[in-house]
Structure 1
Amino acid sequence: MKQDSGVECAHVTCRGGRLLSFVHNRFVIEEGVPVLYAYELQLESSAQGKGLRKFLMQLIELINARMLVEPNGAVMLTVQKSNTDAMAFYNNLGHVISTTSPSRFDPLIRTHRSYEILCKTFESEAKCRLEEGN
């Protein structure tokens, strides 16, 4: 169950007055673990393939590390199953399907959901709760 902390951020990249990218994130408590949830990451087509997406995810991880007052934590996000490029990208960064994702917690609805919830944990307690389901 997700609890909202109310702390929300948006990070924007512009060049020449033109929006190139943005990421929207929010601090929440997920399964008792403080989490930085990346709600949206968008790149303008001319900014794709230049490392900006990876940089923004590294920024999210840095913000997560600097903002959390407790030692346990994770970064979480939702990815559409049909977006195989994004799924591969996040897997390469160390994200795995979370125990909170529909495909993990309810086998009856597994095939009816078009998304997965991914997480990258940074501490053993978070790993137990969000990756292993303990």
Structure 2
Amino acid sequence: MERKKLSGKERKARRKEDLIKKKVVDECVKVAYSKDDHLTEFPAFLKYQQNGLDLKMESQKGDTLSPSLKQYIQALLKLNMEGPYGTEWPAEEKIKRREMVATEARYIIIRVTQGHDSGFSQDQYLWYGFGEPVVAFVQFRFVVEEDIPVLYVYELQLEKSVQGKGLGKFLMQLLELIARKNNMRAILLTVQKRNTLAMNFYKKLRYAVSKISPSKVDPLVGAEKSYEILCKAFDLEAKSKLEESLLQTN
């Protein structure tokens, strides 16, 4: 069946419509970045006090990170990700160091509440700076994918001392709230295929392999890639452009 050719007037109207839509999407991202602290809109998520943990959240920006925070982020990334990346890690570590301090990078830093007896001695933390120990962090950005404004999770990194206690799920719930509050229409993130713990974690949270993941764009090329892009969309258009199918359950 042949597609009807658009007239000049119709093409002009279509271009105008596309430009208006792009302007709306770009403005959405701009407004999201204009906020200094996204946590203030969710006071119930400023603390995490469950399963023996007493933690608090704080916002940071990539271009204003203190030297001690930079050192901590680098150390936790290497500890958690060197294994999943394997031989790719040296090159990937250089990329992550640049991403870490980008102007667009937004962080949620998770610290142990002062005076809380977590059951761990100071030498069991990676943190060696001043103040309350940092035990986890999230890095995210607001970007546009397939003409859809999305919150992209660059990193979700937890120390072993706080893993398996619901903190990761709590942080992903917080990110979903931040995304929706700022009119982002999906959450995207990248996971190494060999990182089975992370894959299973996101599967439980009902993330799907995205249509923009290499394995979906071109299966032959995707088979050679070490990662998948996962997605959770919030509306029908975002689902149709970004989502594929839910991760397979065993």
Shared fold by TM > 0.5?
yes
Corresponding residue of 1:75: 187
Corresponding residue of 2:150: 35
Corresponding residue of 1:57: 172
**Higher strand fraction (1 or 2):** 1
Corresponding residue of 2:111: 14
The aligned amino acid for 1:120 is K
Per-residue deviation, 1:108: 2.0
Asked whether the 8 Å contact 1:101–1:117 carries over to 2, the reply is: yes
The aligned amino acid for 2:142 is F
Q: Answer 1 or 2: higher relative contact order, Cα 8 Å, separation at least 6.
A: 1
Per-residue deviation, 1:92: 1.1
TM-score (norm 1): 0.89
User: Alignment RMSD, CA only?
Assistant: 1.5
Would you say how many aligned residue pairs link Structure 1 and Structure 2? 126
Corresponding residue of 1:92: 204
Corresponding residue of 1:129: 241
* Residue 223 of structure 2 corresponds to residue 118 of structure 1: no
TM-score (norm 2): 0.48
Over residues 37-88 of structure 1, what are the superposed CA-to-partner deviations in whole Å (9 max), with x where a residue is unaligned?
A: 00001001101011000000001000001111xxx61000000000111111
Corresponding residue of 1:107: 219
The aligned amino acid for 1:77 is L
Q: Which runs of 5+ in 2 are unaligned?
A: 1-25, 34-104, 115-131, 245-250
Q: Distance in 2 between matches of 1:108 and 1:41?
A: 29
Q: Distance in 1 between matches of 2:219 and 2:163?
A: 35
Per-residue deviation, 1:102: 0.3
